[in-house]
Structure 1
């Protein structure tokens, strides 16, 4: 790989236009056409692009977040990614910073790569925070194996809205201390392998009911409330010397001098609050600028890029109009302001490449052993006791497995299967329910039909039920669990989590976790 000069050399070698080019982070797609790959190569060469953010495919990128286009499966995506990184690096004058969202591992973007639990699962772990360090470290090793320098994680949003459509499971929970502790462990683990991180989504996306990929969320809290809660993890982690902060697309009028504009283009929030009041001097990166929260409001090419830069962002992620953005910034910005961002970005790049001087292992980590330990430490007994489960275990119980993916079957087929299950358990008294919701996001009751919810609730109301939930614990807000004999949150449906749940039911191990969010024990 080409060597990267120090800042003083780069400062004199780069033209002003090239310095602006270093601030842009266009999207790169692992599963792309040759024509599109060549377009990006040309963009890199002609505009001195500084970094790339990889996504699986155009169909899975931010504005298709709700799956409107079919995502093509490619078992060789990881090898394709490595080859593309080398290809794009080869056409760049200076090394590119390669970024990706790997909040729970490369599996967030790439098939057949290690997957670790969601943050909500890690949030359930008590005391043994070193396990979260290990997650950050393992993911960082996989990033290095791919040629990635920058993991745009972790989410440090405090999720205190059970209906949050986009954060939820991506948050460590609703308690600011727990969120901060787990995030710091993840960051330290990541840094131990020389990979950069980015805390997001400033100033906090946890208490929203709108997905910023699709619209602009409005947060109407006082500044005092935000400082006491949402901003707490950001302030604490800034004090720990983090690499970068990602600014979300949120409208928070009390922080923006009363304006209902996105935080990502607000000088009051980035320069005023984040820089001046909170003392952050590192790199500020925008959330993806193609997201509809902002992109649909600025149809003139280059305008949004300029507004994001003017507000104080140093890196413009997923900018779609780069030549026009560079031109607009050059036309409107003071040279000192350009130099300020260029210096921050270049020094981050310089530090990243100095750390990663040694050849790293090109093999992916095996996640199984760590996932097993994470399962053992997160499993949460929410209702009932070990004695209750032991007593239930001694009965002639039947097991009912409710598990399917979103693409498994049509509603008619699901309802037919439901009729069969009703018949199977009609004369049973004691039922062990193993529930795996089709999706982890809350839309449409986590992918469950209302008839399925009604069926489970009827069983809990009329039978002796022990429930193991292999999914987002917010599902419990739709169940009348106060009538269940015992309820256990398993969080994930990985094999290791299934094994641990089985051993817990058999009395071979105890639940150690604590639910990191609140659920309504008296729902329905």
Structure 2
């Protein structure tokens, strides 16, 4: 009976309990495998199972420069024919050179490995760093993106000559105090860990990279670090089967190519005292090979770690590892001793030559699968560029966006709404300079910035607390300096003190840019009105956390671990985006950024070379996603400083459709304005004029018969060139308050009324053909005031600009901005005889006090785009309804196409036959305007495109026509259309 039971037990052990999928590499080029194997001596067959460490940066090595220097390793490759190397510190080009050097010394091409759990940047500089696994664990429904990350890691690794990634981490981190796995795990839920590990593994293997799931049989519930000692896992077998082994089983089912064994003591699996799992036959052979049916490569964890060397040294561990069932011994410290010990084990019968041969052939098959049967050295040309593809930035951004987690949101504070009523401070703790988070927050509205050290004393915190008293909301970001538990995740006493003081006194949104386990160390965080968790400190978490707070992106992340009773696994408040601009990269809309940048840069270079403009700003968005934002040139040809993206420009005639038409749409929307009523109905002064019955629809489409313009400043001058009585004075006074030239020229306070009378009395054109005219737009501020009871500027600011967060849009900007923040326009040699800088360029608008409906508005590109994005979104932006969809449809449509008039109501539109007023590829539904100073805005609903071009082409003189002649403004948007059409053609 005992014999029968023993047979049954052996049978059960021999039959895999997991439906394992054979790794694909095992079938790779068997002819090459056999032919190479036949050339190897017995020692060389053993050496193929040894992998030694190497660094391409000896100066920074943390693992002993004598043993891992390229010179030492080259000797091991040449003399002992080791089978592989694992790289640690260095840079991509040095590593590629060392790889080529070692491969040239090898009898059989080497397998090259790295720990690249979150990308090559885990080990070498100047390469892509993807999110940590714990961050990915928070990313809801992101397995497609994790697969893509795996694909990109594979492509980058293979480009560098790397064949094995010791990843994915399949440990279930169910111990918050785990000092070694922690943020390297996908989380505490075995199903989530398995799903995400499988997605990552498949992405890597599908693109030619061998993987090694680790740390078998599970390193997630340890309180010690196997780099320094031998951790003990005290779980029973049922717990191990149910939790720790689950992700490995799922990976094996999906064709996993490799498994790394951890240095752990696990009495439930093998109760031999002080025996690491790496050296346990029960774990490696009986459990992994027989019970789980794994057929791929089995790697040891690094053989230099104290978890193994504490009890086994001088090559003994290497021999015992192979006896246990290992295929590849990573980081063998002493190759000659290891080979000698392994040969002793063969002589003792602990392992057979046939077993060595089987494992050697498995290694050779892996080499064939990664292409070493047709080895080529790593090409150094364009290596840095190839290892930093633009697609990786998009993957990083999308993964981060899906991971960001809102853990608290009292009274639905997030996303922030009602920007016109909020005074916002953005406080950074732990970074002494303006941060990415702060700069991104400033894209949405006016904010004030504060920085506090994570070592701040009471005086600094007292000062900060006092400075924050006037603010309605404080956005507090914690830039935690460490992700490791041994140093409290970077939470210092100063961080906690500042956090407690600020959250006690103010409506605070706390963004934690650090390890989620840090939440348990942050005192006072429960008093925050809202909490956003970024999981780690990167440019992406900073940027996108700010975008989430302002509602540009949704919140979908879920906490992947339990921190304490307050913050538990699965917590995460979902938030929807509210239609504010999102800032991203061209790849998110399917455009190659290198191509786009190169083409736009070429056109801008032409503009600068031909002196079409000294500089400017371009901003482009598609479907609400800003994918291009760039300043170019200088404010003037004489200045050395570069234009800033935040610089204000004189918008000239773009005032017509970013101010006047906006206000008129608001009045139309509320039923206060009828486009088919006459001018006299809304402006009493015109009731007894020849313009009284001119319909607003005709005026706004430039077909009412008005003259194109009146040169009012010339009408104020006598024939001898002197000013007429009661027009201008050289000093300001109550009678002459309108500043034309600061300190030099002031206009009489009643003269704007005379200008309006001049419009009233002006003759009409003989016919009502299309004639572009400024005159009616000069009058709209008066109409707005009569209908709304507010001044033109107050109406726009209160109903539109401040609510949109478009705080730079203003008339007479020197009231609020320094001159060096505003681009100069023209050196005026005919009227003002000075440089016009910070004052409206248009002479009529200047004589109106800088506020007119046809010109006078200043702003930066980002704020102009907010208005136009509201148009594209049919009147909706930032959670607010500004205009009805039907209003936008009416105003932006052709009004009189039957007579060849291309205009919308206020808006310009493409001509029916291309004449260059609009981009060549603009759809009939598109609309926009240009400005005399060198401005263009254009929106195309058919493509979701929003385009803002700001420049001061009139500097130093308006005589320059190169900007128009070269079609720079329309040409740049046409480049975007071409790139989108190229993408569409490719997809089709």
Residue number in structure 2 paired with 1:50? 83
- Between stretches 379-388 and 244-253, larger displacement belongs to 379-388
Paired with 1:521 and 1:355, the residues of 2 have a C-alpha distance of 55
| C-alpha distance in structure 1 between counterparts of 2:500 and 2:295, whole Å | 52
Aligned to 2:157: 143
- Give the aligned partner of residue 311 of structure 1: 324
Distance 1:196 1:329 in 2: 26
| Matches of 2:549 and 2:253, distance apart in 1 | 43
- Deviation track 1:21-59 (CA, whole Å, cap 9, x = no partner) reads 0000000111137983222111111111101000006xx
- In 2, the alpha carbon distance for the partners of 1:202 and 1:347 equals 23
Matching residue of 2:249 = 235
Query: In the alignment, which of 205, 212, 221 is matched to residue 198 of structure 1?
Result: 212
Give the superposition deviation at 1:384.
1.1
Determine if the alignment matches structure 1 residue 220 to structure 2 residue 222. no
| Among candidates 390, 402, 411, match of residue 429 of structure 2 | 402
* Greater Cα offset, 355-364 or 143-152: 355-364
Which residue pairs with 1:466 in the alignment?
509
Instruction: Report the CA distance between 1:320 and its aligned residue.
Output: 0.3
Question: What does residue 408 of structure 1 align with?
Answer: none
2:482 to 439, 444, 447: 439
Provide Cα deviations, 1:207-255, integer angstroms capped at 9, x if missing partner.
1111111111111101100110010000111111111100011111101
CA distance in 1, matches of 2:526, 2:316: 54
Q: Following the alignment from structure 1 to structure 2, what is the Cα–Cα distance between the partners of residues 112 and 85? A: 17
> What does the per-residue CA deviation read over 1:477-496, in whole Å, with 9 as the maximum and x for residues that have no partner?
11243332111112233323
Contact 2:32–2:373 (CA under 8 A) maintained in structure 1: no
The one of 46, 51, 54 equivalent to 1:25 is 51
Does residue 323 (structure 1) correspond to residue 336 (structure 2)? The answer is yes
CA distance in 1, matches of 2:236, 2:504: 42
Q: Deviations over 1:246-290 (max 9, x none)?
A: 001111110114644211111111111111111112111000011
Q: Offset of 1:383 from its aligned partner? A: 1.1
CA contact (8 A) 1:89 1:95 kept: yes
Deviation by residue 1:377-420 (Cα, 9 ceiling, x = unmatched):
11111111682233697543432201249xxxxxxx85345641
**Alignment partner, residue 66 of structure 1:** none
Measure the CA separation in 2 of the matches of 1:369 and 1:275.
Answer: 39
**Secondary structure in 2 aligned to 1:452?**
helix
The question of whether the paired residues in 1 share the 8 Å contact of 2:427 and 2:474 is answered with yes
Distance 2:399 2:462 in 1: 35
Q: Say whether 1:477 aligns with 2:503.
A: no
Matching residue of 1:180:
194
Aligned equivalents of 1:17, 1:463: Cα separation in 2 = 71
The answer to whether residue 41 in structure 2 is matched with residue 15 in structure 1 is yes
Alpha-carbon displacement from aligned partner over 1:100-137 (angstroms, at most 9, x marks no partner): 01111111111111111111111111123111011111
Q: CA deviation at 1:309?
A: 1.5
Query: Do the aligned partners of residues 252 and 212 (structure 1) sit closer, same or farther apart at CA in structure 2, a change above 3 Å counting?
Result: same
CA contact (8 A) 2:513 2:534 kept: yes
Please give the alpha-carbon distance, in whole angstroms, between the structure 2 residues aligned to 1:168 and 1:504: 26
- Is this contact kept in 2: 1:481–1:521, CA < 8 A? no
Determine the structure 2 residue equivalent to 1:61: none
Tell whether 2:546 aligns with 1:486. Answer: no
CA contact (8 A) 1:194 1:355 kept: no
8 Å Cα contact 1:216/1:250 also seen in 2: yes
Q: Per the alignment, in what secondary structure is the counterpart of residue 241 of structure 1?
A: coil
* CA distance in 1: counterparts of 2:40 and 2:521, whole angstroms: 58
Query: SS state of the match for residue 126, structure 2?
Result: coil
| 1:162/1:330 CA distance change after superposition, 3 Å | same
Hey, what's the Cα distance between the residues in 2 that align with 1:5 and 1:49? 22
Deviates more, 1:14-23 or 1:354-363: 354-363
Equivalent of 1:378 in 360, 385, 403: 403
Summarize the Cα distance change of 1:354–1:385 in structure 2 as closer, same or farther, 3 Å threshold: farther
From 116, 128, 144, the counterpart of 2:142:
128
Do 1:23 and 1:316's aligned partners in 2 also have CA atoms closer than 8 Å?
Answer: yes
2:489–2:514 contact (8 Å) kept in structure 1: no
Equivalent residues of 1:403, 1:437 under 8 A apart:
yes
Q: Which structure has the larger Rg over C-alpha atoms? A: 2
Q: How many residues align?
A: 494
Which residue does 1:278 correspond to in 2? 292
Query: The residue matched to 1:165 in structure 2 has which SS?
Result: coil
Query: Do the aligned partners of 2:227 and 2:305 also contact (CA within 8 Å) in 1?
Result: yes
Within 2, Cα distance between the matches of 1:375 and 1:350?
36
Distance 1:385 1:416 in 2: 29
Distance 1:94 1:355, change over 3 A: closer
Q: 1:482 touches 1:521 (CA, 8 Å); kept in 2?
A: no
Q: State which drifts further: 440-449 or 87-96.
A: 440-449
Matching residue of 1:421: 461
3-state SS of 2:36 partner:
helix
Q: Which has the higher contact order (CA 8 A, sep 6+)?
A: 1
Pairwise CA distance, 1:9:
1.6
- Give structure 2 stretches of 5+ with no counterpart: 1-28, 60-64, 347-351, 433-452, 568-988
| Contact 2:229-2:307 at 8 Å conserved across structures | yes
Residue pairs, 1:215-364, within 5 angstroms: 215-257=229-271, 259-299=273-313, 301-333=314-346, 334-353=352-371, 362=383, 363-364=386-387
Distance 2:426 2:118 in 1: 31
Q: Which secondary structure does the structure 2 equivalent of 1:501 belong to? A: helix
Provide the C-alpha distance between the structure 2 equivalents of 1:127 and 1:187, rounded to a whole number of angstroms: 17
Q: CA deviation at 1:171?
A: 0.7
Distance 1:392 1:420, change over 3 A: farther
How many angstroms does 1:500 deviate by? 1.4
Q: 1:488 to 1:356 in 2, by over 3 A?
A: farther
Residue 41 of structure 1 corresponds to which residue in structure 2? Answer: 74
The DSSP-based 3-state class of the residue aligned with 1:6 is helix
Q: Cα gap change, 1:13/1:357 in structure 2, threshold over 3 Å: closer, same or farther?
A: closer
SS in 2 for 1:123: helix
1:495 equivalent in structure 2: 539
1:519 equivalenced with 2:544 (yes/no): no
Contact 1:253 1:261 in 2 (8 A): no
SS in 1 for 2:371: helix
Cα distance in 1 between the residues matched to 2:492 and 2:218:
31
- Counterpart CA distance in 2 for 1:442 and 1:464 is 30
- The verdict on how the C-alpha distance between 1:5 and 1:450 changes in structure 2, with shifts beyond 3 A counting, is farther
- Tell me how large the CA RMSD over aligned residues is: 2.5
Structure 2 CA distance for partners of 1:515 and 1:418, relative to 1, 3 Å: farther
Moved more, 287-296 or 336-345: 336-345
1:451 shift after superposition: 3.8
The answer to which of 383-392 and 472-481 deviates more is 383-392
Structure 1 equivalent of residue 920 of structure 2: none
C-alpha displacement of 1:370 = 1.5
The answer for the alignment partner of 1:73 in structure 2 is: none
SS of the residue corresponding to residue 406 of structure 2 reads: strand
Could you tell me which runs of 5 or more consecutive residues in structure 1 were left unpaired when the two chains were aligned.
58-76, 406-412
Contact 2:508 2:529 in 1 (8 A): yes
